[in-house]
Amino acid sequence: MTKKKNKLYTLNDGRILTIQELSNLTGIKQKTLYDRLDRTREFKELTDLNYQRKHQKTMTAFERTYKDLSPELFKLLFGKW
């Protein structure tokens, strides 16, 4: 049986690591690291716990339009009568 070759990832700080080494170093699952490596090579962003919140979908046109409404006005406009 042949051994699986591991791809080497070069981070912006110059470190060259495999996904297994990066997972051991950060304590983050390999699947999560694959997804994050598709977006960035910054070590700080790869290990950031709030990474998902920072890269969420942008606001919709509806959310941008009505984001400043108080809950009472929002309910008055869109709530049940």
Q: How far apart are CA 28 and CA 46, in angstroms?
A: 9
Task: Supply the range of the domain harboring residue 16.
Answer: 8-78
pTM score of the predicted model:
0.56
Q: In this model, does residue 2 exceed pLDDT 60?
A: no
Task: Examine residue 32 and state whether it is found in any structural domain, yes or no.
Answer: yes
* Alpha carbon distance 19, 34 (integer Å): 8
Counted domains in the chain: 1
* Residue 3, in any domain of the structure: no
Note whether residue 55 is domain-resident.
yes
Which whole number is the average pLDDT over 20-28? 91
* pLDDT tens track for 39-68: 889 998 888 877 666 556 677 788 878 888
Sign of CA dihedral 59, 62, 63, 66: positive
- pLDDT value of residue 6: 78
Residue 59: the pLDDT is 72
Position 2 in a domain? no
Closest CA to 31 of 19, 43, 40: 19
